[in-house]
Amino acid sequence: MLTRKQHELLCYIHDHLGETGVSPSFEEMKEALDLKSKSGVHRLISALEERGFIRRLPNRARALEVTRMPDMKGDEKAGISTRPQAPVIPPSAANDVVELPLHGRIAAGLPIEALEGQSTLPVPAALLGPGEHYALEVAGDSMVEEGILDGDFALIRKTDTARDGEIVVALIDNNEATLKTFRREGSMIRLDPANRNYDAQRYRPDQVAIQGRLSGLLRRY
């Protein structure tokens, strides 16, 4: 039997995956459940993993898969609200490969110039959701607490809009790009790192253009 918070988190992950095709970030989960810290999210995820409701996908940042949902009758008896389950869509076959444009290196530290390249990166189709994508090589360590490391390849879904809590490629002053968590702070745009050694960056909205949203991560060993 799940606690109410465990059930709320499971439903939130399930719905987010159905809507966006990617797992929510720890910051998004913390805010959705009105928790005080990410450590509470970690405990809930570990409990759900132990009970077989979710599993972590290896070699991918913030990658969770809902393996089953609670029994609805059991939940109703326990006084836990339930909602209809979305159909489970099987991922693309593991041997399906997509060639994504590889557009140079993207800073996960201080902004650096985004390099336009002509090369491509072969990516398993199962790592991608709907929409048009491109790849960027990560440079820097400011997103390590989201599992994004120097040398990783960020798989980016093209979009020019972002919601609070999403990890985005932000183009600064039309010539520098960075990979950060997007926030609105009053009349300013705040780009948050995921490394306590780095400070948030604040810009006027006219200085920031969203170039895409993180869809997945590819790591070579």
Active site residue 37: no
- The Cα–Cα gap between 192 and 166 comes to 10
Active-site option among 23, 25, 30, 180: 180
Annotated catalytic residue within 119, 142, 158, 215: 142
Q: If you search the block for the tokens 């994508």, which residue do you land on?
A: 133
Is residue 9 within 8 A of residue 48, CB to CB? The reply is yes
Is 48 within 8 Å of 40 (Cβ atoms)? no
Residues 181 and 87: their CA atoms lie apart, in Å, by 30
Integer Cα distance of 23 and 41 in angstroms: 13
Tell me if residue 186 falls in helix, strand or coil.
coil
73 noted as active-site residue: no
Please give the structure tokens belonging to residue 21. 């095709």
Q: Report, as residue numbers or ranges, the catalytic residues.
A: 142, 180
